[in-house]
Amino acid sequence: MNTKMGRTLQYETLKSANYAADCPVHLAIGMFDGLHRGHQLVIESAKKAASASGGVCGALTFWPHPSRLFRPDDPARMILNPELKRLELAKLGLDFIVEEPFTREFAAIEAAQFLAHLKSEVPSLSSVHAGENWRFGKGRTGDMTELQRQGETTGVDVNAVPCLDSGSERVSSTRIRNLLTTGNLCEANELLGYHYYSIGTVTQGKRMGRTIDAPTLNLPFEGDLKPAYGVYAVSVSDVSLGHEYKAVANFGLRPTVEMTNKPLLEAYLLEKCPFDYGHRLKVVWHAFLRQEQKFAGVDELKRQIAKDVEEAKAFFGRSDLGREGGAS
């Protein structure tokens, strides 16, 4: 089965990527969690190869993350859930995306057989592209030097894309996860190459926000990796419409008024709010302002929220978003 996002086709398995038998296929391969600037270079490499040869380019990515299989008690938390990863991949102008199920069977493919396996699934495979440190095959024993050796015998061009560094450290999904969970949002955004964002549907809360002059759009958090609990300058838009509204949001468990077990993202718009319960919204996270706190009472919380609002306004005043008069 395949579906379409813009011009990008989506396949559930590599085998079902049914391009014409004689059409050269160029594949970027990886987990691509976060689709950060390093990942974007790998995708670029596949796109360039495709435009040079007249073939098609696709991304072969996997779900779930291998750690779900091998370390179920402590899996890596994903920056992008499958919905967001699909959205980000589709923006990169690929012809197709494959979200191959990462099963025990797939994990058991011997490293020495890896490229032959891909070629048997896609006979017109012309080139593969992955980061120079990418590892594959049973026990992750295969590396890019090994893949290049296999490329010589299978007639597939293998491109090891040099890892991207930032501040003398490699750009990686793990590094970005750590930055997000420690409140270093600006650096995370820099490494991602776009602003971290989340999507959620507005639900009803305790209807207390309006009584403390800060009505909020309550958005249960749908992500896997949880950024640091705290207050953020964000912008909010309808998922399918463009205009972004500047806002200040709290992400956390609301210890002052209740202690929820699931984190909530609550956004107070700094301008007139056109949204209501049931709206599906995109929230772009721009800056971390402070950690979430347990206040002695609602009055103290209310005073702090007023300061947060001022700080968010000051942030937007300094940022490009403020100068453009919008957040798009």
The site for ligand ADP (CB under 6 A) is made up of 202, 204-210, 215-218, 268-269, 273, 275-277
Q: Do residues 189 and 252 touch, judged by C-beta distance below 8 A?
A: no
Nearest to 209, CA basis, from 246, 261, 288, 264: 264
Question: Residue 269 binds what, of ligand FMN, ligand ADP, none (CB under 5 to 8 Å, by partner type)?
Answer: ligand ADP
- CB nearer ligand FMN, residue 127 or residue 218: 218
- 325 backbone dihedrals φ, ψ, rounded to 5°: 75, 15
Can you count the helices (H) and strands (E) in the chain?
10, 15
5 binds ligand FMN (CB under 6 A): no
| 255, interface contact from ligand ADP, ligand FMN, none, CB < 5-8 Å by kind | ligand FMN
State the binding partner of 204 from ligand FMN, ligand ADP, none, CB within 5 to 8 A by kind: ligand ADP
Task: Identify whether the C-beta of residue 25 lies closer than 8 Å to the C-beta of residue 128.
Answer: no
| Residue 205 sits in the site that holds ligand FMN (CB under 6 A) | yes
In the shown chain, the binding pattern of residues 54 to 83 toward ligand FMN, with x for contact by CB under 6 A and - for none, equals: ------------------------------
Query: Partners of 100 in the beta sheet?
Result: 62
Stretch of 11-19, 105-113, 156-164, 210-218 contacting ligand FMN, by CB under 6 A: 210-218
Interacting span for ligand FMN (CB under 6 A) from 121-129, 143-151, 191-199, 200-208: 200-208
CB of 211 vs ligand ADP, minimal distance in Å: 7
Distances (CA, A) of 44 to 51, 128, 151, 217: 10, 12, 20, 38
Taking the complex as a whole, the smallest distance from the CB of residue 218 to ligand ADP amounts, in Å, to 4
Amino acid, single-letter form, for residue 116: A
In the shown chain, the binding pattern of residues 11 to 40 toward ligand FMN, with x for contact by CB under 6 A and - for none, equals ------------------------------
> Nearest CA to 124 among 44, 54, 62, 61?
54
Quote the CA–CA distance of 126 and 157 in Å, as a whole number. Answer: 6
Burial class, 230, CB count within 10 angstroms (exposed 0-12 / middle 13-18 / buried 19+): middle
Contact 198, 265 (CB under 8 A): yes
**Which residue's CB is nearer to ligand FMN, number 89 or number 248?**
248
Place of tokens 């399918």: 240
Q: Is residue 58 within 8 Å of residue 93, measured between CB atoms?
A: no
109 binds, among ligand FMN, ligand ADP, none (CB under 5 to 8 A by kind): none
Residues near ligand FMN (CB under 6 A) are: 205-209, 214, 216, 218, 231, 248, 250, 254-257, 266, 268, 292-294, 301, 305, 308
